[in-house]
Amino acid sequence: MASYTGEVKVGGPVEVREVPGLRITKLAVGPMHNNAYFLRCSNTGDTLLIDAAAEHDRLLETRDDGLLITIVTTHQHPDHWQALEAMVGITQPNVIAHPDDAGGLPIPVTQTVVDGDVISFGDASIEVIHLRGHTPGSIALLYTGDPERPHLFTGDSLFPGGPGNTRGDAADFTSLMDDLETKVFARLPDETWVYPGHGGDTTLGAERPHLAEWRERGW
């Protein structure tokens, strides 16, 4: 298997990363070039999808023979759930979102989660981190089962080069930066791998030196 780079394009090949306890599969879908992530428990095959963004047929193909038991939507913006209803109609998974964003999804959720909650699938689990600002209920998802590094799926709350878009709202920007600094950067090591909702990956170590710059520029 080729080494993982995190670089994917719509219509292009997926990127697969094997880490202890988990297979991570990344693909890009839809007109907004959204990233979707399948997390598959290495022991049981139980699978969780982060953001059923678009192209449900491609998502189903990428799922392969994994048993899709859960779909987590990182936030309520429509480009992150265009394929949600179709995927649920076919695979009948648990549907999870934060309560502050659940009402913005096209179908009812079966479970809401808040900061610190744990979502299990097979023998694997991820922790919910609530990052207020891009939307009221934006969440990141943290996997700590790899002794070499944590793996953090940030939706649209953190990208290479800065936080997610807060539309020029000073209060939302401050809220997002405060949550990123206290819940993410203050807690997790530089080795933490960051998987965003669009584009390429990064690490907390690559972004940490720029926190003050982000605060000063205001976006």
> Does residue 179 fall inside a structural domain?
yes
Token pair 């990052």: residue: 131
pLDDT at 1 over 60: no
CA pseudo-torsion sign 115, 117, 121, 126: positive
Compute the distance between CA of residue 148 and CA of residue 108 in angstroms, rounded to an integer: 37
Name the pLDDT band for 66 (thresholds 50, 70, 90): confident
Task: Tell me the mean pLDDT in the region 47-66.
Answer: 95
pLDDT in tens, 74-111: 999 999 999 999 999 999 999 999 999 999 999 999 99
pLDDT at 203 over 50: yes
Task: Tell me the mean pLDDT in the region 130-152.
Answer: 98
The rounded percent of the chain whose pLDDT value lies above 90 is 98
pLDDT in tens, 67-81: 999 999 999 999 999
Tokens of 206: 């690559």
φ, ψ of residue 110 to 5 degrees: the values are: -95, -15
> Does residue 5 fall inside a structural domain?
no
CA dihedral (121, 126, 129, 131) in degrees, to 10, reads -70
pTM over 0.95: yes
| 62: three-class secondary structure by DSSP | helix
Q: In the chain, what are the helix, strand and coil shares in percent, each to the nearest 5?
A: 25, 30, 45
> Which pLDDT score, from 0 to 100, does residue 2 have?
66
> Does residue 10 fall inside a structural domain?
no
Side chain identity, residue 190: D
> Does residue 8 fall inside a structural domain?
no
CATH for 113: 3.60.15.10
pLDDT at 209 over 80: yes
Tokens of 195: 């998987």
Domain range for residue 54? 15-217
**Backbone dihedral region of 68: left (phi > 0), alpha (psi from -120 to 50 degrees) or beta?**
beta
> Does residue 161 fall inside a structural domain?
yes
Average pLDDT of the chain is 97
> Does residue 1 fall inside a structural domain?
no
> Does residue 3 fall inside a structural domain?
no
> Does residue 69 fall inside a structural domain?
yes
Are 128 and 115 contacting, i.e. CB atoms less than 8 angstroms apart? yes
Number of domains in the chain: 1
In this structure, the chain runs to a length of: 219
- The DSSP secondary-structure symbol of 181 reads I
| 215: three-class secondary structure by DSSP | helix
